[in-house]
A and B are shown apart, each in its own frame.
Chain A
Amino acid sequence: MSYLLNTPDDKVDMLKKIGATSIDDLFSNIPDSVRMKRLLDIPKSLTEIELTRHIDLLANANLSAERSVCYLGGGSYDHFIPAVVDTVSSRSEFYTAYTPYQAEASQGSLQAFFEFQTMISQLTAMDISNSSLYEAGSSLAEAILMAMAITGRSGTVLVAETVHPEYRLSFTTYLANLEPKVVTVACPGGKMCLNDLASKLDDSVCCVIVQHPNFFGNLEEVEEISKLVHAKGALFVVAYDPISLGILKKPGEYDADIAIAEGQCLGNPMIYGGPYLGLLSCKEAFVRKIPGRLVGQTVDRNGKRCWVLTLQTREQHIRREKATSNICTNQGLFALRAAVYLAAVGPKGLTETAELCFRKAHYLMDLLCKIPGVKPKFNLPFFKEFTIELPCNAQLIIDSLVDDGILAGLSQARWNPNLVNVMTIAVTEKRTRSELDNYAAAFGAAVNSFIAHDKSKAFKS
């Protein structure tokens, strides 16, 4: 076994020093009645050559974005990852380091996390950021716990129906046995209904959660929402798309209190849903209520600038059941990747990336809506993701386009059975005009064939 180093001779010497007769002897305080009397029922060991062959086969059984053109979004996107990101994150000193509790031996990661916190604060125009949480859904749960502690209110959490259904499910689960009720604000036109919001806002509301751009890709009226929310003394929590901030207003510009995002799009692979990283930035006044790890700047005993994990008295290893959160790990390696990504694209690159996503998405929307029967589901402004209504079941088109090597989009029926003809499509800066043209052509052909098929069925019956 190549990861184990003790040879039979080593074992004899070591047992002698310990004063034990056998390795088994070391386990003697495990009651015999619960000792395993057989080997675990798992497959026998594989060498690296065998394992590689096995995994290659399984990896090739997936239609990954490497072998297809991917228009899937909903929180995970096929953005380009510059090579520098992989180069840095594959440095052993970064990826095989432990949590930087020993600051002297961790200045590399600590400085990188401080830079990450700074860039997330800059990106969102918020005062401060932590050094990352798990992903967006549980980050929203953390934001709610924060809002409860800050406002002292625990009656209601208002959430727009246009927030990602999996994010809503996640924080609802966290709150299952806590006080606040989760109340959904209607979004009949594809964005939050301000009248419904106003009617539900009262003194028991601790926070209002909006996703902008939302799950359908539409932009929300964040400035007006922000004013309404603050007038009632609640906190405004927004879930944003980091790439969109290359062109769209930043959460701080419309006075959001806590800004949350899925950070996957910042240089991280889609890898079937994780690991990703949750971004959390907020106003300075909330600093002692923030969950998760924070890196702070200080000086060492010789006056040299350095960085440490700080405000640890908020955290579970000190406060136990009174901690601001139960979170222990952050997503260190992915915060590092996000930092390298943001530094690599820089201010101009981020704006150009956002602009390419925007223009290509709008180009594709226009092309698709030329197909007879296909139309925008909402006539609302959008960024890189949009929602259309088809003259047939969206899943049929998605299945049919797989044969063309296209992952066409998300059928909204997965989350709402009333939306079987509705599809949401995401376009990143990676897509070329010819890919978009081919997609629209294949899409049109598929729609036509299903309509013709339906007509002929109707004719026969």
Chain B
Amino acid sequence: MDKSQSTGLLFEISHKDRRCHLLPDCDVPIKSSSELLDKKYLSNQSTGLPEIAEIDLIRHFINLSTKNMAIDCNFYPLGSCTMKYNPKRHERLGSLGGLSNVHPLQDDKTCQGMLEILWEMQNYLGEIAGLDGVSLQPAAGAQGELTALLVAAAYFKDKKEHRTKVLIPDSAHGTNPASAAIAGFDTITIKSNANGRVDMEDLISKIDDKTAVFMITNPNTLGLFDEQIVKITDLIHKAGGLVYLDGANMNAILGITRPGDFGADMMHYNVHKTFTGPHGAGGPGSGPIAVRKQLIPFLPAPIIIKTTDGFKLDYDRPKSIGRVRSFFGNVGILLRGYFYIRTLGPDGLKQVSENAVLNANYLLSLLKDSFDIPHGDRCMHEFVASARNLRKEKKISAMDIGKRLLDYGYHAPTVYFPLVVSEAMMMEPTETESKETLDSFAATLIKIRDEDAEFLHNAPHSLDISRPDEVRAAKEPVLRWKK
């Protein structure tokens, strides 16, 4: 069945004088802007927005939607991204008018229900982290990293310590060094050892009295829990530094171990991953941070406090770093995280991690005889396979396999990350998939491995398009439609 009707660009299907949304007549006796405002303020040119009737607009976007893969239709074994199911109750509750129509600058006493939810969320995230203070303000994980690093910088400044270095393992997400640079730190890369853990010798050689923060993702991006963690955090603390936990992989350890308990002093959550906000084809996220007691004074303002007079936004925080964004935070995602935590409870959250780890290990066990898995046959919630041997023997790349999976209705794994494994294929099945799904997925991967290399180079074969010319896109960028 053809689903291409009205899928030309909006500007191509635009038809002069067609309308969708109509406005009421003006009911106040006031002159128009062209009469009341000086001409110098008024625009001389049309916006050029498309003119579309409602049915064409709907067909356009609904037909476009069918060109997407999505969690509600397909399995996404996308490592590092925690593409779990997005419960539908969250969407209904999140769009209740009593929540979605609350203005961010309303006085506290007119939005006590909202403040109560967010105050509880602050507490839950502190408890899950094993840390003392929480800021819900950061809009996404990367902004959470930046916020925490600014908190650390303010903390050292307050202590009159001049610390300039942030140490980051080579397997870290790219946001870690990018955030450290904006926070004004020099970044020092720490090597991974042959087992995919922090190379202790390299770490020890790079710790000094200028070390401000060590950023670690644990479990790391290879899906491995670094059992040296207590030793590492002790070393950093002895040198007077702080330990930052990139919480991207919290889905592996909910209720099993807590960053605060293994020595992290600050961390961010990706609420949209761990606590399942829909990814929306790239956002919004939400990246709250949790910190140890001595860092609380430096958190962004406001923070919600409970008083005898109800819940209040506390702006009276003289040592605060300030703000990293306008308004309270990405509340819509925080609400969904709250709904999820309330639905699961303490037993449920722990089972989430148990099943996420069980599923990942099961998938690994199904694939380990057919694919190269460089870091052993056990993992946490994700693992990294490599196509390096396939590439050598059959000229089949991780990209080829990923693209061919699309034909079978599976999203590709995360490919070419982490950078420390060549031809990496990082797989994270999450806990919301069944054994049957994992069985079929593994069988498909094994089947693809034995397909003709040339056929794989040209995959996918059944989608609308195949292998876009990315070099051309970057060489002569076309970033907008023009007449």
A95-121 interface (Cβ within 8 A of B): 95-100, 102-109, 111-115, 117-119, 121
- Which residues on A sit within 8 Å (CB–CB) of B69? 93, 97-98, 102, 105-106
- Which residues on B sit within 8 Å (CB–CB) of A129? 479-480
B480's partner among A40, A118, A125, A250 (CB-CB below 8 A) is A118
Contacts A27-B357, A31-B230, A346-B50 given; indicate if A138 touches B180 (C-beta within 8 A): no
A124-156 interface (Cβ within 8 A of B): 125, 127-129, 131-132, 134-138, 145
Residue contact A17 to B67, C-beta cutoff 8 Å: no
A5's partner among B282, B341, B361, B434 (CB-CB below 8 A) is B434
Residue contact B332 to A298, C-beta cutoff 8 Å: no
Q: B106-123: contact bitstring with A at CB < 8 Å (1 yes, 0 no)?
A: 110011111011000000
> How long is the Cα–Cα vector from A374 to B394 in the complex, in angstroms?
81
**Counting CB contacts under 8 A, is A30 at the interface?**
yes
**Counting CB contacts under 8 A, is B169 at the interface?**
no
**Counting CB contacts under 8 A, is B127 at the interface?**
yes
**Counting CB contacts under 8 A, is A33 at the interface?**
yes
Residue contact A14 to B358, C-beta cutoff 8 Å: yes
> How long is the Cα–Cα vector from A135 to B332 in the complex, in angstroms?
14
Residue contact B81 to A104, C-beta cutoff 8 Å: no
Contacts A94-B280, A98-B76 given; indicate if A137 touches B102 (C-beta within 8 A): no
Contacts A94-B65, A349-B21 given; indicate if A329 touches B284 (C-beta within 8 A): yes
Q: A35-53: contact bitstring with B at CB < 8 Å (1 yes, 0 no)?
A: 1100111111111100110
Residue contact A118 to B481, C-beta cutoff 8 Å: yes
Residue contact B43 to A170, C-beta cutoff 8 Å: no
Contacts A36-B258, A93-B73 given; indicate if A274 touches B102 (C-beta within 8 A): no
Residue contact B93 to A317, C-beta cutoff 8 Å: no
- Which residues on A sit within 8 Å (CB–CB) of B86? 95-96
- Total interface residues on B, CB under 8 Å, equals 200
Of chain B, the residue at the smallest CB distance from A395 is B107
- Total interface residues on A, CB under 8 Å, equals 206
Residue contact A331 to B283, C-beta cutoff 8 Å: yes
B10's partner among A11, A44, A115 (CB-CB below 8 A) is A115
Other A-B contacts than A40-B255, A343-B20, 18 sampled, CB-CB below 8 A, are: A10-B435, A19-B377, A27-B225, A34-B257, A45-B345, A88-B65, A96-B72, A117-B480, A137-B326, A176-B184, A223-B40, A249-B42, A316-B178, A317-B173, A319-B178, A328-B174, A334-B284, A354-B33
**Counting CB contacts under 8 A, is B443 at the interface?**
no
Sample of 9 A–B contacts (CB below 8 Å): A61-B113, A64-B98, A115-B11, A173-B321, A249-B40, A272-B111, A313-B474, A346-B50, A348-B19
> How long is the Cα–Cα vector from A220 to B95 in the complex, in angstroms?
36
**Counting CB contacts under 8 A, is B45 at the interface?**
yes
B176-200 interface (Cβ within 8 A of A): 177-185, 187
**Counting CB contacts under 8 A, is A330 at the interface?**
yes
> How long is the Cα–Cα vector from A325 to B225 in the complex, in angstroms?
29
Interface centre among A75, A98, A299, A301 (most CB of B within 10 A): A98
Residue contact A399 to B43, C-beta cutoff 8 Å: no
Residue contact A359 to B23, C-beta cutoff 8 Å: no
Interface centre among A31, A52, A432 (most CB of B within 10 A): A31
**Counting CB contacts under 8 A, is A172 at the interface?**
yes
**Counting CB contacts under 8 A, is A294 at the interface?**
yes
B324's partner among A74, A173, A308 (CB-CB below 8 A) is A173
Interface centre among B61, B357, B406 (most CB of A within 10 A): B61
A239-297 interface (Cβ within 8 A of B): 245-250, 253, 262, 269-277, 287, 293-297
Residue contact A343 to B10, C-beta cutoff 8 Å: yes
Residue contact A326 to B278, C-beta cutoff 8 Å: no
- Which residues on B sit within 8 Å (CB–CB) of A6? 355, 358-359, 434-435
Residue contact A169 to B323, C-beta cutoff 8 Å: yes
- Which residues on A sit within 8 Å (CB–CB) of B105? 72, 74, 76, 410, 414
Of chain A, the residue at the smallest CB distance from B30 is A359
**Counting CB contacts under 8 A, is B454 at the interface?**
no
**Counting CB contacts under 8 A, is A421 at the interface?**
no
Of chain B, the residue at the smallest CB distance from A133 is B139
Residue contact A23 to B283, C-beta cutoff 8 Å: no
**Counting CB contacts under 8 A, is B431 at the interface?**
yes
Residue contact B345 to A46, C-beta cutoff 8 Å: yes
Task: Determine, out of B52-60, B201-209, B237-245, B385-393, the stretch whose residues face the partner at the interface.
Answer: B52-60
Q: B461-483: contact bitstring with A at CB < 8 Å (1 yes, 0 no)?
A: 00111111110111001111100
Of chain B, the residue at the smallest CB distance from A14 is B362
> How long is the Cα–Cα vector from A308 to B472 in the complex, in angstroms?
11
**Counting CB contacts under 8 A, is A18 at the interface?**
yes
- Which residues on A sit within 8 Å (CB–CB) of B225? 27, 29-30
Minimum distance in angstroms from A352 CB to a CB of chain B: 4
Residue contact A107 to B50, C-beta cutoff 8 Å: no
Of chain B, the residue at the smallest CB distance from A429 is B23
A378-421 interface (Cβ within 8 A of B): 381, 398-399, 402, 407, 410, 414
Minimum distance in angstroms from B224 CB to a CB of chain A: 8
Minimum distance in angstroms from A411 CB to a CB of chain B: 9
A1's partner among B29, B351, B479 (CB-CB below 8 A) is B351
A156-179 interface (Cβ within 8 A of B): 164, 166-167, 169-170, 172-174, 176-178
A5-31 interface (Cβ within 8 A of B): 5-6, 10-11, 13-15, 17-20, 23, 26-27, 29-31
- Which residues on A sit within 8 Å (CB–CB) of B41? 219, 248-249, 381
> How long is the Cα–Cα vector from A277 to B283 in the complex, in angstroms?
10
**Counting CB contacts under 8 A, is A345 at the interface?**
yes
Residue contact A42 to B127, C-beta cutoff 8 Å: yes
Residue contact A122 to B174, C-beta cutoff 8 Å: no
- Which residues on A sit within 8 Å (CB–CB) of B5? none
B110-151 interface (Cβ within 8 A of A): 110-114, 116-117, 124, 127-128, 139-143, 145-146, 150
**Counting CB contacts under 8 A, is A443 at the interface?**
no
Residue contact B257 to A112, C-beta cutoff 8 Å: no
**Counting CB contacts under 8 A, is B440 at the interface?**
no
B139's partner among A138, A344, A414 (CB-CB below 8 A) is A138
Residue contact A39 to B255, C-beta cutoff 8 Å: yes
> How long is the Cα–Cα vector from A36 to B347 in the complex, in angstroms?
13
Residue contact A349 to B463, C-beta cutoff 8 Å: no
Minimum distance in angstroms from B434 CB to a CB of chain A: 4
> How long is the Cα–Cα vector from A274 to B245 in the complex, in angstroms?
25
- Which residues on A sit within 8 Å (CB–CB) of B42? 247-249
> How long is the Cα–Cα vector from A4 to B351 in the complex, in angstroms?
8
> How long is the Cα–Cα vector from A108 to B59 in the complex, in angstroms?
12
